[in-house]
Structure 1
Amino acid sequence: MTSDATATESTRVEFRHEPAQSRYSLRINEETVGFADYTVTGTDVLFTHVEVDPARRGENLASRLVEQALDDVRTRTELTVVPVCPYVVRWIDKHAEYQDLLTRGR
């Protein structure tokens, strides 16, 4: 499990990799407020769905979650990222520094 905890005065943000559930999660003050689901197939990791609590939208949480998940894939594996979720497709399109994940190992 990987996590990145950031504490502020009253807010604790934690990113978790939950391999048994094929999921990265984002928790704020111990409450899950977002997740990114994936499936591993051969040498590919397919990001299939990203969701953030509707009450927390507009806080840039989905972007932070995707960035943390992709950073984890980059450092922990040699898998090629296949963005299936439209949000992940758009996110990678906007962040050129992550596009190498789409072709590595090919």
Structure 2
Amino acid sequence: MNPVTDNSARQRFELIEDGKLAFSEYRREGDVLILPHVEADPALRGRGAAGRLMAGSMEIVRERGLKVRPLCSYAVAWLDRHPEYRGDVEG
């Protein structure tokens, strides 16, 4: 099961590890999710949580047949390092 959840009420994907939160905010425009911000609790930084958040978020995006437009520099860099998701990026 994917530990990343879609908190649609807050328009963000969330991952909780060791009681700490990592999240990726989004806003939807048609079939595109714009990703303006990714953040991990300081206790999770350097442990791969943001990467697991991105991978889980992208799996949800793919399952729903959507595309993403990353604006956050972390999301842009992560997607550049993961060519398996290039087809899920707008443009």
TM over 0.5: yes
Work out which of the residue numbers 9, 19, 41 in structure 2 matches 1:20. 9
Name the residue aligned to 1:59.
47
Report the Cα distance in structure 1 between the residues aligned to 2:49 and 2:72, rounded to whole angstroms. 16
For structure 2, the residue ranges without an aligned partner over 5 or more in a row are none
Name the residue aligned to 2:75.
88
Greater length-normalized contact order (CA 8 Å, ≥ 6 residues apart): 2
Q: What SS does structure 2 have at the residue aligned with 1:21? A: coil
Return the letter of the residue paired with 1:66. Answer: M
Do the aligned residues in 2 keep the contact of 1:44 with 1:82 (CA within 8 Å)? Answer: yes
Do the aligned residues in 2 keep the contact of 1:25 with 1:32 (CA within 8 Å)? Answer: no
Work out which of the residue numbers 23, 29, 36 in structure 1 matches 2:24. 36
2:56 pairs with 1:74: no
Alpha carbons of 1:32 and 1:56: their partners in 2 closer, same or farther (altered >3 Å)?
A: closer
Bigger Cα Rg: 1
Q: What SS does structure 2 have at the residue aligned with 1:20? A: coil
Alpha-carbon shift at residue 50 of structure 1 (Å): 0.5
Alpha-carbon shift at residue 15 of structure 1 (Å): 2.2
- Count, aligned residues: 91
Do the aligned residues in 1 keep the contact of 2:20 with 2:43 (CA within 8 Å)? Answer: no
TM-score if structure 2 supplies the norm length? 0.89
Report the Cα distance in structure 1 between the residues aligned to 2:17 and 2:78, rounded to whole angstroms. 22
TM-score if structure 1 supplies the norm length? 0.78
Alpha-carbon shift at residue 55 of structure 1 (Å): 1.9
Percent identity over the alignment is 33
Superposition CA RMSD, Å: 1.6
More strand by share: 1
